[in-house]
Amino acid sequence: MIAPVKIHKRSIGVTFESSGTASIRLWAPQAKAVVLLRGADKAVEPLQQQPYGFWELSTNTLQEGDTYQFQLDQKTIVSDPASLDQPEGVHGPSRVRNIEKFPWTDATWVNPALAEYIFYEIHTGTFSTVGTFQGIEEKLPYLRELGITAIEIMPVAQFPGDRNWGYDGVFPFAVQSSYGGAEGLQKLVDACHAQGIAVVLDVVYNHFGPEGNYLPSIGQYFTDKYKTPWGDAVNFDDAGSDAVRSYFIENVLMWFRDFHIDALRMDAVHAIRDFSPKHILREIREHVDELMTQTGRKHYLIVELDLNDTRFIDPLDRQGYGMHAQWVDEFHHALRVTTGQPTTGYYSDFKGITHLAKAYRDAYVYDGMYSEHRRRSFGVKTDGHPSDRFVVFSQNHDQVGNRMLGERTSSLVSFEMLKVLAASTLLSPFVPLLFMGEEYAETNPFLYFVSHGEKELIDAVREGRKAEFAAFHNEGEAPDPQAAETFQQSKLEWSRVQEPRHKTMFAFYQTLIAIRKSSIALRSTNRSQLAVAAQEETRTLRLDRWCEQEHALCLFNFSTAPQSVPLESDVPWNCVLNSADTRWGGPGTLPPAGGNVILQPESFILYLR
């Protein structure tokens, strides 16, 4: 059994003792000899072999800012798998960083309850003109004015070049140098906490990118027992997996402990293959619990999951994996089909407004039903799980960027329907997520982009995108992922916020968020205090939510014609928001008829009593 993971400090890579001595620890189980190559002149120092394939060295010659690599068996030269800094990119040497020295000012920060999170997903490179953590920091007053309580940053682990979504990372411990590196991320987190905003970081533990991945030459980080869409699976249960599991547990603890990250969003955990008696996610949760006990800080683990399997979010004492929450794509799919979007691909499984109503009630649409798309029964019931276990959205980086032309929702539906989509998410019983620019109806696309350095890989990515969208070539060619223009087109155009329609949409989102925060009924996570009824023929939906003495009622009209909806008159209702009001750029409110509310096309009305 390898040594247990230290909770209070990293035990792999380069760390410093209080005396200033550098401690180096590398797992290279196949190597017969390992030496440290220090600096540009590659001064040599041998590491000492330890049990279970580890190699260690204590030295006073390695200082912060020095570059270094390892040489295995006098031939293979590799960078540190636990490198904190790759200043020359994924093919260059590692650089020593002492991340424990950062002067934090957030001692009084308290991570809010997940139910209070209003997520705002950000891609660092396209969020601002400069495309750095500093660019995000400069917009924090804007996000606070909007009402955002948590930003979610797409992956920042070092990837090839300086343009990438982040899911091609190959150094999980190194913060992308073109974004501002480790210190830039620490400064951003500190500034967010000063503004009352939590920070969620997207991490990828199911695969590594195709360029700059030298791990197979170092140790058994992958297994051919299982396959993923990206190749061999990460080795969580095969020979050598103890060290691999510790590697990822150390990564989780580092983000929480040394970067003060509040929550991790773990990408596509359904692609993690682990048949160990204790699943890696459960083991991660146990270590995070121990960290929280030691530090007194609160952290959350959130998963992207395509299995409709509550084992992932079941608590540890119910033999679950203990994840605090999960993304729910099915809410998005049902909502998009309800707005009239084509029922192609996985959307073919969704029946529009009836499935949207089910998503409001049950979180999962498919909870044991037969799926035509999958050609099998799928999912389980979510009974007993409060609504803050589920994160929902009307768009995100995947749902926008995986379209051939990267169209945002603002390019696919009307201005009026955009407001309905906003309310559908923000007035739901679940934890809402916005995708950057959504709040002012940004029209620039969010495209798929990369900046690989290997010609064969660039050609393969280009051909792969063309093949993926072969059926859509009557709409034009898929943009070149490698082209700098593709990346530039995907940047937010912040000047739009001051244009009348976009300014109106921002104020509308701001108002919706404020209402959600102030209403006890809309903040409630009790899924039993909810009723929903859908009318297929009129494409209207009634959503009732209540808590204590407050009752919230939202009437939605997803159709393109006015619709009459009954409203009980025994107790007076207070209309707090009507998306059709001229104040919100709408056509104006229609008078009641025969005691019924008349909803304008593609609109909603929110009542409280």
DSSP character string of 96-136: ---GGG-----TT--PPPGGG--EEEE-HHHHSSS-SHHHH
Burial degree of 347 (CB within 10 A; 0-12, 13-18, 19+):
middle
Q: Is 398 annotated as a binding residue?
A: yes
Pairing of strands 119-122, 431-435: parallel
Q: Which amino acid is at 2?
A: I
Nearest to 338, CA basis, from 311, 363, 358, 361: 358
Structure token pair of residue 316? 């540890």
Q: Is 332 annotated as a binding residue?
A: yes
Q: Is 333 annotated as a binding residue?
A: yes
Q: Is 270 annotated as a binding residue?
A: yes
Q: Is 330 annotated as a binding residue?
A: yes
Q: Is 97 annotated as a binding residue?
A: no
Number of H-type helices and E-type strands within the chain: 14, 30
The residue annotated as part of the active site, out of 85, 202, 262, 304, is 304
Q: Is 269 annotated as a binding residue?
A: yes
Structure token pair of residue 460? 């393969």
Contacts 24+ apart (CB under 8 A), 521-524: 521/545, 521/546, 521/547, 521/550, 521/551, 521/552, 521/608, 522/427, 522/552, 523/115, 523/116, 523/547, 524/387, 524/429
Q: Is 267 annotated as a binding residue?
A: yes
* Active-site residue flag, 304: yes
DSSP letter, residue 9 = S
Q: Is 30 annotated as a binding residue?
A: no
Q: Is 265 annotated as a binding residue?
A: yes
Pairing of strands 150-153, 119-122: parallel
403 — phi, psi (to 5°)? -75, 150
Tell me what percent of the chain is helix, strand and coil, each rounded to the nearest 5.
30, 25, 45
Strand ranges inside 209-275, DSSP E:
222-228, 231-234, 263-266
Q: Is 402 annotated as a binding residue?
A: yes
The residues near 396 (Cβ < 8 Å, ≥ 6 apart) are: 121, 327, 332, 433, 435
DSSP, collapsed to helix, strand or coil, labels residue 585 as coil
Q: Cα(203)–Cα(167) distance, rounded to whole angstroms?
A: 8
* Active-site residue flag, 267: yes
Q: Cα(69)–Cα(214) distance, rounded to whole angstroms?
A: 12
Structure token pair of residue 399? 């749902």
Nearest to 555, CA basis, from 568, 540, 538, 545: 540
Q: Cα(579)–Cα(573) distance, rounded to whole angstroms?
A: 17
The residue annotated as part of the active site, out of 267, 274, 349, 442, is 267
> Residues comprising the binding site for substrate?
265-270, 329-333, 397-402
> Residues comprising the binding site?
265-270, 329-333, 397-402
State the catalytic residues. Answer: 267, 304
